[in-house]
Structures are given as C-alpha cells and as structure tokens.
Amino acid sequence: MSLSTEQTETPQTPDADRATRIKAMSRKHVFTSWSAQGKLDQLPLAGGEGAHFWDYEGNRYLDLTSQLVNVNIGYQHPRLVAAIQEAAGRLSTIGPGFDSESRAEAARLIAERAPEGMNKVFFTNSGAEAVENALRLARQHTGRHKILAAYRSYHGATGGAITLTGEARRHGSEPGIPGVVHFWGPYLYRSEFHSSTEEEECERALAHLRQTITFEGPQHVAAIILEPVVGSNGILVPPPGYLEGVRALCDEHGIVMIADEVMAGFARAGQWFAFQNWEVTPDLITFAKGVNSGYIPLGGVVLSDEIAATFDDRPYPGGLTYSGHALACASAVASITIMEDEGILQHVRDLDEQVLRPGLTALTEHQVVGEVRGIGAFWAVELVADRDTRQPADAAVMARVAAACKEQGVWPLVMGNRVHVVPPCVITQDEARRAIDVLGSVLASAT
C-alpha cells in the first residue's frame, strides 16, 4: 500500500522571494472565492506528497484539510500523475458528441460501485454542476417543481446549488431559483426538536420532514436532496434509521431521493459512497472531489435505471462542453483503480476504528470540547465557550487554535466553531496519531 510517509525535509530548496512574487501577483490579479479581497493573506504552496504539503520557505505541514476535502488519494500520487500524462499524450480532449474510451471506462467503474439498478453516469466539471443537473433530472422525471433541502447543508455556489444550500453562504445570492424549500435535519447536540436521544432525534426529524412535505403538497415535490453525512456544516452523521426513513417518505409520495456525495464519497466515509454505511439506495447520486482527488476538475450524477429511461425517447435538456472530459475521466479511472489496488477504503475503516475514533473522542477531556463526531476520515471537533450552555467558541479562540496547530506543523480545517479533521485518506496511522497529539496539546491551553 503506497500510503503517506513521514519525511524530515521538503524536496526543494527554500525560495522566499518566489513566495513573495506569487503573493503579489495573486493579490493584484486573482479574484478569490468567498473572500474580502483586500484582507487576503494566503500561503503560497510549493508542493505536496501523500498527506503533507509545504511552502516556499521550507515549512512542511501535515494536512488535515485535504485542501477542500477532496485530495482523498493524497498529493502527487505517482500512478495518478502518470495516468494523466499518458492520457494527455494520447488525446487530450473529446467533446460529448463523440464516444470516449476514458469516459466509458470511468462511467463503468463508478456505476459498478453504485447500488444495483444505477447504471448510467452523466459527467460534469464540478460538484455544483452535478447538483444542478440532478435537480433538472428530478424535475424532468417527475414533472414537479419543488425541491426540499436541509438548512444545515452546502450544495455548491452555482445558481440552483446555492439556493439549495441551507447555510448562510446562500444569503448573498438571494433571491435564488423558485421552488426550493428548506427543512431541519437531525443534529442531536443542537437539536431543533428538543430531543435527548438519537432515537427521539430520528423520529422527530422524520415527523418534521413529513409535515413539511404535507404542507408543501407532495404532488408538487420533485426531490429531497441531502448529504448522507453533512460535510461543511459540521460532519453530522445521521442517527440510525434516518436515511431509511427519508427513503420511505420518498417512496410513499413518488419523490426522487438525491444523495449529495460530493464531499463524503470515494473513501471519505469508508465506503465508495457514504450512504452505503446504511441500508438505503437513492435515485440520484451526485459526486466530485474524491472521485479523482481533484487532480483535474470532474463531477457527475449517477442515475437510477428508471430515471435514465425517462430520456430514452426524448432528449435530456442539458449539456456541457467538457462533460466527460478525456483527461478528467482518465484520472478517475486511475484513481478508482489505485483505491482498489491499495486498499484505501479498508485503510480508512481501520484508521477510523483504531486511531481517529478513539483518539479524537479522548479530546472530550478538554473543557473547550463540546462534542466529537464523525465516520471514516471525516470528523469534527466542536469547540464551546461553555459546556453547560453549549455556547460556541468564538472566532478569536478558533483563530488561536488554528495558529497554534500550524506552529507545530499541522494544518487544520477550521469551520465556524469546529475543527474538521479530514486528512487525505492515505494518511498513515502514525501520522494521524501525531495530528491528534498536536490538536490535544493545543486544546489543553485553548480559552
């Protein structure tokens, strides 16, 4: 298994002047997402390998972010890099109006890892585009227009996807597309339903969803979209029975169930798709990120045979110039093959059971930790100012925690009042232990 290994030196000579030039050019010419441009102070990266990246000044960091939770296979995997180089030398691009070997092979490999009865894949360039097309597929298939999405969710930043998003990042893009209705999903630690157990939270969340469907008119609801494990909004693992309950509601009312697996798929939750940790099968699956670790932009939708058949005799009203791009699909073929050959899914399960779950759970000994939750290589440590009231830790505390981790060579992902522990899925157990040790030492003095 070619997993990440510790190294004591970065493989290039430090070049601080180059970093300065990159920062200056970036601030002058690059418009950066989700940022006040005048306040940016980003670190230029020089390289990466396995679960580490480094800067131009020779500082090496153990990465707990996987960039945007997408570098599942780690940085610069030699087989994946070689596959892209080989594909570029063969034929760099083919439009969707021609058949492509890499597109066909990538679709086959993805469909084989999806549930039975899901045999076709529509390729996009990103997770947001995947969500847009899943929305369109559901509406076209059902002839209905309403889409239900959770408040604690993020589905992308394009027009439809940002409307589906429930969290505050949608506010700057409102008003959004019509027909989107939000509902509350389960989150026992901060329950909207005054629950005290997972069983109560599941039952009450499903009752709330049923009531929402009833009041919106089930005959108008095309789809329910949800992240099987909520990502950016807290790594919320559903209570037992919740996803199955959503599936039952969809079946009862002829509603399409869309599983947004953009962040949680392809080994992140220890399975090809996170929902496979439960007894549930969606109608549409959106994916991106981990399908090829972001080496080349790629996303897509896996369709049930029933929905795919809707378009056997009438055209699907959508398309993309780069749908199933040859290089991107070649990278997906290589990535999936590498994950199989190197046993990365099993590695993530072992990492969860033997290191991340026990190690991160032990961090609850620190008063600043309110809750730890997660699955696979997908974890969150929620920090609070007061354990009794569960008041979230403020931005100043989170900034100090992030800075202290970086000083010890560990780069954390801070989102709200949480430290998300989402390293490349190839991180070794020793590397993961080191990261937890650093995080523990930082939290011991966090106030």
pLDDT at 9: 52
Closest residue by Cα to residue 152 from 76, 68, 238, 70: 238
Strands (E), 198-317: 221-226, 256-260, 284-287, 299-303
pLDDT tens digits along 311-342: 999 999 999 999 999 999 999 999 999 999 99
Closest residue by Cα to residue 427 from 360, 375, 356, 359: 356
Instruction: Answer yes or no: are the C-beta atoms of 107 and 121 closer than 8 Å.
Output: yes
Please, which residues bridge with residue 445 across strands?
Answer: none
User: What mean pLDDT comes out for the span 390-414?
Assistant: 97
pLDDT at 196: 97
User: What mean pLDDT comes out for the span 117-141?
Assistant: 98
pLDDT tens digits along 47-97: 999 999 999 999 999 999 999 999 999 999 999 999 999 999 999 999 999
Instruction: Answer yes or no: are the C-beta atoms of 380 and 420 closer than 8 Å.
Output: yes
pLDDT at 14: 87
Phi-psi sector, 241: left (phi>0), alpha (psi -120 to 50), beta: left
pLDDT tens digits along 236-278: 999 999 999 999 999 999 999 999 999 999 999 999 999 999 9
pLDDT at 1: 45
Instruction: Answer yes or no: are the C-beta atoms of 286 and 260 closer than 8 Å.
Output: yes
CA distance 43 to 274: 32
Q: Write a three-state SS string for 102-128.
A: HHHHHHHHHHHHCCCCCCEEEEECCHH
pLDDT tens digits along 35-56: 999 999 999 999 999 999 999 9
Domains along the sequence of the chain with CATH: 16-76+343-444 (3.90.1150.10), 80-341 (3.40.640.10)
Quick check: 368 pLDDT over 50? yes
User: What mean pLDDT comes out for the span 361-372?
Assistant: 97
Cα three-residue angle 123-125-126, rounded to 5 degrees = 105
13 pLDDT tier (thresholds 50, 70, 90): confident
